[in-house]
Amino acid sequence: MASGAGDGKAGAGAQGAEPRGELVIRTLAMPADTNPNGDIFGGWVLGQMDIAGGTFCFGHAKGRVATVGVQSMSFHEPVRVGDVLCCYVELLRVGRTSMTANIEAWVLRRASGERVRVTEGRFSYVAIDDQGRPRPVPAR
Q: What is the mean pLDDT of residues 72-85?
A: 97
| Predicted pLDDT of residue 15 | 53
Listed in sequence order, the residues at least 6 apart from 138 whose beta carbon sits closer than 8 Å to its beta carbon are 61, 62
Q: Strand 65-75's sheet: what is its strand order? A: 22-28, 84-94, 98-108, 115-127, 65-75
Task: Report which residue type is found at 80.
Answer: R
- Helical segments of the chain, H only: 42-61
| Predicted pLDDT of residue 5 | 36
Of 113 and 82, more confident: 82
Global confidence as pTM: 0.87
Q: What is the pLDDT of residues 83-136, one digit of tens each?
A: 999 999 999 999 999 999 999 999 999 989 899 999 999 999 999 999 999 999
CATH number of 12-127: 3.10.129.10
Q: What is the mean pLDDT of residues 1-9?
A: 36
3-12, 49-58, 80-89, 123-132: least confident range:
3-12
